[in-house]
Structure 1
């Protein structure tokens, strides 16, 4: 059976800095599943709101 990669957005955090700027951080997971649906690889990546993917 073949494997497949699934991309999930797992969380989003937002807050204000002392200078009143908004700060946001998002977590993205890249999950590779085997033919049985079991996870064979998991990669977590945190990105800021102004990051380019």
Structure 2
């Protein structure tokens, strides 16, 4: 039984790590769009937002 608990804990940690990574990616994209001084927002045409929604890192 202890081995099953360890396996489930490991899977849960992996899922939590993945979810935290996705939150960080989306937070970066939101920070980009929240900065009114960025001229690149107009040139971006939503590219960062689409990438973030697909789970891709938008760190440029």
TM range, normalised to the smaller chain? under 0.3
| Greater percentage in helix | 2
Larger radius of gyration: 2
TM-score by length of 2: 0.26
